[in-house]
Amino acid sequence: MNLRQGAKVWVHDRDFAWLPAELLESSGKQFTVATASGKKVLALPENVFPRDADEDEHGGVEDMTRLAYLNEPGVLYNLRRRYALNDIYTYTGSILIAVNPFAKLPHLYDIHMMEQYKGAPFGELSPHVFAVADASYRAMMNGGQSQSILVSGESGAGKTETTKLIMQYLTFVGGRAAGDDRTVEQQVLESNPLLEAFGNARTVRNDNSSRFGKFVEIQFDSSGRISGAAIRTYLLERSRVVQITDPERNYHCFYHLCASERDVEKYKLGHPSHFHYLNQSKVYELDGVSSAEEYMKTRRAMDIVGISHEDQEAIFCTLAAILHLGNIEFSPGNEHDSSVIKDEKSRFHLQMSANLFGCDLNLLLATLCTRSIQTREGNIVKALDCNAAAAGRDALAKTVYARLFDWYAYGQCRIDKHISFIRRRMIRVKILIICCSTRLVDKINSSVGQDINSQMQIGVLDIYGFECFKDNSFEQFCINFANEKLQQHFNQ
């Protein structure tokens, strides 16, 4: 890098990341620069980058490929200048960068704004998520080829909201005439709050963090009208069901259930602080969010998507069973390395779990406190110590919730209390849940009206955000690795 004396540069700073400065002297292995405050700083060459000469004369460029120097400090400074002017969107070629304002901006996403971007050449209007969605739609119509839109970023960057805005625009530009009270666009959009209730949770950086990946495929006919849609989900974070850290939360649906007066009495629930799977963190409410209202929104969304009231009851019954299951504690039994139910409180929760799961109490107890090993001579029943019993309890809770989410997100796996669910360690369990011939994606997709003969689709991928916790699970490693690979794809 050849920089002359007097050149405008960026210099790395421990507190502010980058500071604007002027090069005073270069000695090969070390630069001397003066910051805007007049302070002289010695810096290594790798910590100094050239700066655009005229960047202070404008409020930032709409497309950062127009920057003379497309380096990290230049990009960050440009985004900051535009954000200060309430311009949250910026292009880098065909890539749109969005800076989350953490505020509602309804004027940016109303019908008038969608009409402006409909058919407008890409780059003619200010950067906007609608411009990306429209460009994808036009490319599909003009070339007759399916398109994909990838939405990525750190946790809390606004990926899920951006995905919903893309879906909103596509249902606007390709909306079909409503032949029924529940149009495709309604059902596609109403699937969002449902999936968020069961698949989103509060993390350190995001009150509504998606803990699963989602691929939404909007299908179109030859005239550009929506002919159907399909929703697929991936990699639910199962461990969150049984283990959370302060100040995070478990999945929203548990708190919604505990806020429903009718269900609290019906399922013998109470405040979230009464349940082990929820009270590992002391955060029970979200700022500006009513769990009771969210519960009603979830119910209404279920109605629109087409989930029957019978199945709705089965879903919330299963959630309540999981909460009671988590409150079962164990103490050492009389035999070596054995366990028994700790006290009457735990026995109450065991009874409630068995009732709600629709299984025999003694069968559930045996499942938790023993395991069956099959040999040539027959089955050997081995007692489990307290730690193993608790681990088995948590494994059951995670599996049940994952199957419930699969029912909800991958197809209608009806909750049928008369169908055996067999865990590898629990061959005798005739508990409860799940999976019939149809699966939840089939439920939502059949309700929406999936067009299996569609030749043109626009797929929108909303994946987990990059995040680093105090304690990171293997699941989080996989999430971050996927984000790194996606970033590598962009860089290439």
What does 244-256 look like in DSSP terms, one character per residue? --TT--SBHHHHH
For the entire predicted model, the pTM comes to 0.86
Segment 140-187, tens digit of pLDDT:
999 999 999 999 888 889 999 999 999 999 999 987 555 544 467 777
pLDDT at 422: 31
Query: Which range of residues forms the domain containing residue 337?
Result: 263-445
For residue 40, the domain's CATH number is 2.30.30.360
pLDDT at 6: 92
| Catalytic-role residue among 26, 191, 200, 206 | 206
> Binding site membership: which residues?
153-160
Confirm whether 209 is a catalytic residue: yes
466 and 380, same structural domain? Answer: no
Confirm whether 344 is a catalytic residue: no
| Catalytic-role residue among 183, 210, 339, 370 | 210
> Binding site membership for ATP: which residues?
153-160
- State the pairing for strand pair 456-462/147-151: parallel
291 and 220, same structural domain? Answer: no
Residue 463 and residue 213: Cα distance in Å, rounded? 4
Q: Which of 408, 425, 445 is the last residue of a domain?
A: 445
Half-sphere exposure of residue 322, counting CA atoms within 13 Å on the CB side?
32
Buried b (16+ CB within 10 A) or exposed e, 77-90: bbbebbbeeebbbb
Task: Domain count for the chain, please give it.
Answer: 3
Within-domain flag for 110: yes
Confirm whether 156 is a catalytic residue: yes
pLDDT at 49: 96
For residue 354, the domain's CATH number is 1.20.120.720
Q: 220: which 2 tokens?
A: 């179109």
Confirm whether 239 is a catalytic residue: no
Q: For residue 26, which of 14, 9, 39 has the smallest C-alpha distance?
A: 9
Q: For residue 442, which of 410, 464, 396, 419 has the smallest C-alpha distance?
A: 410
Confirm whether 206 is a catalytic residue: yes
Confirm whether 454 is a catalytic residue: no
pLDDT at 427: 33
Half-sphere exposure of residue 248, counting CA atoms within 13 Å on the CB side?
22
Q: Are 60 and 16 in contact (CB under 8 A)?
A: no
What are the CA-CA distances from residue 132 to residues 82, 93, 99, 129, 165 (Å)?
A: 19, 11, 16, 5, 11
Which residues neighbour 390 within 8 Å (Cβ) at sequence distance 6 or greater? 329, 330
196 and 73, same structural domain? Answer: yes
Query: What is the amino acid identity at position 202?
Result: R
For the chain of 492 residues, list the mean pLDDT of each consecutive stretch of 10.
Answer: 88 94 89 93 94 78 93 95 95 95 92 97 97 98 96 90 94 70 69 89 92 90 89 87 95 98 96 98 96 96 86 91 98 94 98 94 94 86 96 95 73 36 36 37 67 90 83 83 84 76
Segment 391-416, tens digit of pLDDT:
999 999 999 998 888 765 544 333 33
277 and 194, same structural domain? Answer: no
| Catalytic-role residue among 78, 160, 162, 233 | 160
| Catalytic-role residue among 174, 392, 411, 465 | 465
| Catalytic-role residue among 156, 213, 306, 459 | 156
432 and 330, same structural domain? Answer: yes
pLDDT at 232: 84
212 and 325, same structural domain? Answer: no
Q: 53: which 2 tokens?
A: 């000469």
404 and 472, same structural domain? Answer: no
| Catalytic-role residue among 136, 162, 209, 454 | 209
For residue 466, the domain's CATH number is 3.40.850.10
Confirm whether 210 is a catalytic residue: yes
Confirm whether 465 is a catalytic residue: yes
